[in-house]
Structures are given as structure tokens and as C-alpha cells.
Structure 1
Amino acid sequence: MFAISRSLRLSRCLSPFGRGLSASSSPGPRTLVAIDFDRTIVEQDSYLAVSQLLPTSQRKELQDQIPKCGWLSFISQVLQRLHGEHKVNSASVGKRVRSLTAVPGMLRVMRQLARIPELELCIVSDANSFFIGEWLQAYAIECLFAGGVFTNPACVQASGELLVLPYQEQTDCDLCPSNMCKGSVMDELTCSGRYERLIYVGDSCNDLCAIKRLRQKDVACIRRGFELHGKMTAHGQELACSVLTWRDGHELEELLMPKIVA
């Protein structure tokens, strides 16, 4: 039932790029680098950035509801108000997303990784396909993510309003929101049989579930000074994988590349 419902949602809001798990162009053992989007690839949270198009009072009102209602409800209400009350169209939303600054050095390290024949990149994010697609297209790097983009599907409706739908509907995982369990995505990638090793790069609490699914031969790359890094004192002993911490893309490249080419 889950797979059918997700297929129906995706047919209504098609992603501008593939979801991954396509046939590999290179035989032999492969490594997948799965990367979060907000505060990992881009410096700012994309949902908060788009909410800045609202008047301050409305933005704060909706932000106060995030702990209770969640991020997907937050961005849905932001987009509804932008379109309905302020006549802000999807092009203006896309322009705001395209203006987001990359984490220093991240564009370079992603391009470097994508050049390695035995490696694929993918994105695993609780953002959405419209935001991520706009940003990747702005830098002409959609082609780097041969492993696909796993995120909430989004589309522009006939009215011009941008609609974001849940990636899934789940109640089994308490670490993740109901619309997306990143751990289940990692399980899907592991069980696909395509990859000998997984590397996960993230910064937030919702990445904890994903890295807890990694095996001893896998690697978690945790951004230092952010939410996930702060959780390691309490949860570090629960991880089977090796862990490295990084501040920006330059440091990530310096620490990660030797682990891949070794």
C-alpha cells in the first residue's frame, strides 16, 4: 500500500530529475555518497529562506508552529500565504532558492567526488524537489547526482501555487518526521545491492536515523558545530560506522578523499 500511494503522489508531482537506483554504467563494487541539502550543501535552511518572502509578523507566527506541526506543514502554509495573500508566484520562490549560498568548498568537493568512476552521489533531504531542482539547475550540477534525489515531491499547480507533498507517510520511526524517514531511505539503498559502501554527509537531527543505519564499513560525515554534532555525545556509541567531522567543504574534501581512494 505504501509503494502504491507514493507512486500516485509522484505521478502528480514529478521531480525534475530521477530518484535514483537506475542501472549502473560502471560494473564492479561501488560507493554511494548520500548528502543532505539544507545546511550541508547550502548554508541556509531553504524553508526558512523562502519564508523570508513573507512579512515578519506572518513569518514568526508560522515559525512558532514548527515544533508542533513540523517543517512540511510550515512550508505548505508559507507557500499558501505567499501565493494567496501576496501574489508571489513559483518563479519568485525559485529565484529566492537560487540565491542561497553554497557551504564553502561544497561545490568543489561534490564535483571532485562525481569524477570518481566507482562512486555515485545522491541527495537525501527533507526539503523538496522544486527547491533542490532550482538550486542544482542554477549551478548546472544536476548531472552530478547519478544516484538520484530522495526528497518530498513538489510541483506547480494550474493556479500557479507551489504544492509540496510528503515523500512518504510513516509512523514507525520516532527520530524522523512522518513525511520522511531518512533511515528507511538508507535501508532502501543498502538493500538495492548496488553499493558496497555508503557514505552519509549531514548536519541535522533528522540525519541521526540515517547514520544509525550505516554499517561498519560505511562512513558518517557530520558537520561540526551543528545539531547532529551536538547529539554525538549521547548517541555516538550507537553507531557502527566510522565518523569524521567537518567544518566546510574544503575540510570535508581533505578528510574524505583519502577514505575513498584508499
Structure 2
Amino acid sequence: MSNDQADTYNKRIELKYLLDECQSQQVKLWAREHLETDAYCDPQLGDSYDIHTLYLDSSELDLYYRTGVIGKTKHRIRRYGCDPGLWIETKRKKKFVVKKNRTMVIDHELHPRVTASDPKLALQNESSWCGDWFLDRIANRQLQPSVQIYYRRFARTAVIGGESMRLTIDSDLQAMASSDWRVREHDSELMSAIDNVQILELKFHNHMPYLFKELLREFPLSMTSFSKYNAAVEATRTVAFPNVSDARKSTKTVPLTRLAI
């Protein structure tokens, strides 16, 4: 079976919901009762961990406006907690189905490559490197740092019948504009709060697990197309993006039809 065929039969699905504080606490209690602690959680934070993500965009903010080729795929550099490694990744989502490509790299290997005066020339001069695919996309799309986003992620997981499932809740969202290729440590004094919301995501393959069906029966939640990146740009727009125009945003909306469960 080809990779394309395999992807057809093994779809990674992510559903997103907005929660208020009360709903968040209720869902966390449910998750602790029904799911296991995620292996990536920080022992000092219990069943949570911190995420720091640098988003890349064009000078015309095509990702924000969801225009052209750039607007279809997120390019980002991510650090989990205080880990020394970084994840370079792309993520594309269409009708709840997610396609992600990612590679772990070391900061001191990534930084000189992305800050080279001519990234394409740097690719030609350097020996083969695990992140070359990402550098190539940056160069071809002329991407640059846009904003860095911080949040704390609550995470629980389970494997039932050989199928993995994962529940996450992101809270304390903060953002700052960035032209620096480094993923900085969290500093709340330099960051702006992103709305007063928490984001629940249900992640699974192909078909919704029965436990998630039970969750949605107990807590009737509405799906959302909320974008952390767009919210971050808007939270920092007065200083960093003064020319952001609501009128230029794509009028195309994400259909929030009820997923068959």
C-alpha cells in the first residue's frame, strides 16, 4: 500500500471546542477519571506542560488571511517546556483531517541556517541535514517569524482496541510579535493575553472513540474553528501589525457541520 493510500485509511482527526473556566474544570475531572496521564506532561505540573511556538508567515500575512499556498499550511517552530530540542513542523487541516510533518532539531543547528542571508544558498553549501525540507519551504515561500505563542496544555490519553485517543485543553494563551528566529522563554510581561478562552481538542484516528462520544453527550459542546495564530496577530495588531485589515480576511468559513459519531 502506498503512503497516500495508507493516509486515506488512517486519517488523523482533530475536533476543537471553546470552553469557559467552569466547563474546563468539569471536562478535566471527566478526563482524569476516564483517561491516563499523557507521557509528555511535566511532573511538576501534574497532567500539563507548557508549549512555546514561533509561527512563520509571509510579509503580506498570507497565513493570517488564509490566502494563496501559504494560507493553507502552518509553518512553525515549537519547544515543549524547557526541552533543549525544537520541533520544526508543518500542519494542514481540511474538514477536521490533519496532516502534520515534523522533525526534532537542535537550536544551535537551526538558528544559523534560518538566519543565513540566502537560505537557498545555505542549503546548497551545507551537507545534508534532517531539517532541510523545512528550510526549503521557508526559502521558497519567503517565510519569516511573525508571532510567538505560549500556553499551558492539559493532556490525557488512552489506547482502546488498539486505537489511540488524546484529549487536550489549552489555557492561559499569550502572544508577542517576533522577528527573532529563536523560541524565547516565557515572559508574561512581554506578552499579551489572547482572549479569555480555553480550547478543548479531541484527537483520534478515523472514527470517534466511544469515550469521546460519552464526553459529548455529558457536555453538549459546539465545535469551533478558533485559530490561535489569528487570535495572536489580533492581540498584538496595534503595535506589531497596524495595517491588519478585517476586510481583507478570506470570506471562506470552516463548515462546522456535526461530525458523525
- Same fold, TM exceeding 0.5? no
Query: Which structure has more helix as a fraction of its residues?
Result: 1
Query: Which structure has more strand as a fraction of its residues?
Result: 2
Report the TM-score when normalising by structure 1: 0.28
Report the TM-score when normalising by structure 2: 0.28
